[in-house]
Structure 1
Amino acid sequence: MWQRAKIVVLALGLIVSQQVFATSAWDSYKARFLMPDGRIIDTGNNSVSHTEGQGFAMMMAVRNNDRAGFDKIWTWTKKNLQNPQTGLFYWRFNPVAADPVMDKNNATDGDTFIAWALLKAGTQWNDSSYLNASDAITKELVARNVISFAGYRVMLPGAKGFNLNSHVNLNPSYFIFPAWEDFAKRSHLTVWRDLINDGQKLLVKMRFGNTQLPADWVSLSADGRVTPAKEWPARFSYDAIRVPLYVKWYQPTSPLMAPYTAYWGRFSRTQTPAWVNVTTGDPAPYMMAGGLLAVRDLAMGQLPAGEPQITAQEDYYSASLKMLVSLAR
């Protein structure tokens, strides 16, 4: 009996210690990037804000059971970024500009994360207002950003500027499979299953050059061909690093992880290039660190135990990747 009680005490201690770690990482993140009004600042980009960052942080708040933090971030996002005509969100906020939201386009990764966090919040805290807000956003996402093209159902990166008739430009890091899965379960709409299935098919086709990795931006032609989009460098880089993160989050044993583990397996952990040109094979002249390395560790099964360490030197994106990796695990 005494031995069993000892085991129970040890298990409770482990649970408590994990909760302390989670609070510590989230507190560190908030201290670095959350402004008192609810705005998340991109410290690597002149302290502008993005819907991506607002959505990331809303999800972190839910997972850390921080309703006050969640409400603060969501309230600022609604007030400053929500487009009253569409219900979606202006993708970028520059606090020092005459018009902080000069570009009125949306970014579907940010919209998706905001809607996903609201869905999680509504379920966790039994609040229908969050669920209704999530449903309204996903309805507009489908209406304004999802199209059928070249035999695939795809979500455009934004409502404007990506459907060029002869081809569409896609960002595979916007294929947020675990969110789409939750939207499918919530709505029972087949469009979300179509996006998941066709997104996975497209990732198989987006294996370029010797690396077999996707580029940050990819063009899908009307005849079904895919090529690195000519408007951006042909790199597997700071956008596409999220592709294996979301694949792993959605399905830990997915065969779609194979190109990433194969490529990264060519290098030792500390000598893995931060990015690579998928056309030429030329690597970055510097190595992975911070959040990039956390994604590699997750993919390779080398993620250390415990919560991420958000250092004083860490910029917003690196810290965000670390936190997302922790959520995915």
Structure 2
Amino acid sequence: MTMHRTRRHHLVQLARLAAAGAALLAAPLAACAAPASAGKTAPAAPCPWPLYQQFLSRFVQADGRVVDPSTPAQHSTSEGQSYGMVFALVANDRATFDRLWQWSVANLGSGNLTDKLPAWQWGRRNDNSWGVIDANPASDADLWFAYALAEAARVWRAPAYGDAARALLALAAKQEVVTLPDFGTMLLPGPQGFVDSKPDGVRTWRLNASYLPVPVLRRLAAFDRNGPWGALAAQTPKFIEAVAKQGIVPDWSAYRAGGNAAGFITDPDKGDLSSYDAIRVYLWAGMTPAADGASRTLMRALLPNAQRMEGRAAPPEKMHADTGAIEGNGPPGFSAAMLPFLKAAALPSLAPALAAQRARAEAMVDAPPGPNAPAYFDTVLGLFGLGHFEGRYRFSPAGQLEMEWEQSAKREGPCRGKAA
């Protein structure tokens, strides 16, 4: 009897999840309970964003340093600083935006980021001093920095941010963009260490698909019309289509040319593993507007991985592109990253998966401090994935941010956010 009641209970719960997921696929999110202004224009005040406040309190120092406390070096990265600036922009938090940028200039650029790209890693060195650990720039952070600055210049009407963005883009175009034989324009992960040339003329380029969010490239292409960003936006779906096997994109890929052939191969160093880097590929694809021509190619190439979520409690922590093997359950941030992707897939069969991953991701919000609190990277993925899913921001087909606080001010209506 108990077994039958338990089975009925699970069936009821599954039906509820399916209904909730179907509603999410079909309808916009409910608005928060914030009241509309009466008879006057609403101020451009930040909408309440609990996960952003959690990010600030746990991972951002007063001086503007974004810290990942889970690492032995207690390090900060150019990626973390640039992401933090995007979140501050979405939250209409200019004071934090400026602190993060100023810390980055002072510490990742030795006081100047007009003549150099920011160092990738800063933290506690082996001799217990603090400073740059790895000076090699990371190209994804360089593009996100430029994107945040370009959008801040537009939204906050502050041209100085735009000047800083142009300086970064000029350096990135010169040092981090290459032409692959028989393929075309591509972004290296950094200026040094990603091209291997052999005496026999064979060359191998190591690449990272998660470094190429199409909406960011679209915006940079309009902002810097003489740069390679439009070409990169066109190449990105082709790249992902070429390396995705069974919908699985590896963290790292390689392109080899020389001899009698040129083409993509399994990365010689990292193999076919898909995990903490590649999870962002699905996130960026899900956030790419359907009106962007790249969206169809990206979703077609990655759709098998959306279907792989049917019946799973969590996204896999590790997948292998060559074999299709999967291992373990990913952390809550993986669930948040999958929300825009599962929603964009728009398959009724994925409704329970969407509802389940949403519930898992939302458990991070306002989680109490302690050993079970969301880690730094989970929180970052949560801000991107949940923030987009809740309607706090969108990308236009041209790559511009469409932020809820702007829309609330224009329509004199409430902020949107976590649905009841």
Question: What interval of TM-score do these two structures reach, taking the shorter chain for normalisation?
Answer: 0.7 to 0.9
- Partner residue, 1:215: 250
Distance in 1, matches of 2:208 and 2:119, equals 18
Alignment of 1:237-248 (within 5 A): 237-248=275-286
* Structure 1 counterpart of 2:342, from 276, 300, 310: 300
Aligned residues: 316
Going from structure 1 to structure 2, the CA distance change for 1:322 and 1:160 (only over 3 Å counts) comes to same
TM-score (norm: length of structure 2): 0.69
- Does 1:77 pair with 2:119? no
For CA contacts below 8 A with separation 6 or more, give which structure has more relative contact order: 2
Tell me the residue number matched to 2:302: 260
Larger Rg: 2
Q: CA RMSD in A?
A: 2.6
The 10-residue stretch of structure 1 (151-160 or 78-87) with the greater mean CA deviation from structure 2: 78-87
* Structure 2 counterpart of 1:156: 188
Distance in structure 2 (CA, Å) of the matches to 1:157 and 1:192: 15
Alpha carbons of 1:158 and 1:57: their partners in 2 closer, same or farther (altered >3 Å)?
same
Counterpart in the other structure of 1:43: 69
Is this contact kept in 1: 2:207–2:253, CA < 8 A?
A: yes
Query: Can you list the C-alpha shifts for 1:100-137, whole angstroms capped at 9, x where unaligned?
Result: 21322100011111111111111111111111001110
What fraction of aligned residue pairs are identical, expressed as a percent? 25
* Structure 2 equivalent of residue 277 of structure 1: 320
Pairing of 1:24-63 with structure 2 (within 5 A): 24-46=50-72, 47-63=74-90
| Offset, 1:14 | 7.5
Structure 1 stretches of at least 4 aligned residues deviating more than 6 Å after TM superposition: 9-12, 305-308
For 1:125, the equivalent position in structure 2 comes to: 156
Shift of 1:99: 5.8
2:89–2:97 Cα contact (<8 Å) kept: yes
Letter in 1 for 2:93: D
Unaligned runs of 5+ in 1: 1-8
Q: 1:314 aligns with which of 374, 379, 382?
A: 374
Correspondent of 1:180 among 204, 208, 217: 217
SS in 1 for 2:194: coil
- 1:214/1:111 CA distance change after superposition, 3 Å: same
CA deviation vs aligned residue, 1:285-310 (integer Å, no higher than 9, x gap): x2133110112222112374998725
Distance 2:219 2:264 in 1: 28
Deviation of 1:218 after TM superposition, in Å, equals 0.3
1:249 aligns with 2:287: yes
Query: In the aligned structure 2, how far is the partner of 1:159 from the partner of 1:89?
Result: 11
Query: Partner residue of 1:5?
Result: none
**TM-score, length-scaled by structure 1:** 0.87
The residue number in structure 2 matching 1:290 is: 332
CA separation of 1:328 and 1:226: change in aligned 2, threshold 3 A = farther
2:248 alignment partner AA: L
Aligned equivalents of 1:27 and 1:228: distance in 2?
40
Unaligned runs of 5+ in 2: 1-30, 198-202, 344-353, 390-420
Cα distance in 1 between the residues matched to 2:286 and 2:247: 17
- 1:216-236 deviation line (CA, Å, top 9, x unaligned): 010011243112212114211
Is contact 1:81-1:90 (8 Å) kept? Answer: yes
The answer to whether residue 125 in structure 2 is matched with residue 93 in structure 1 is no
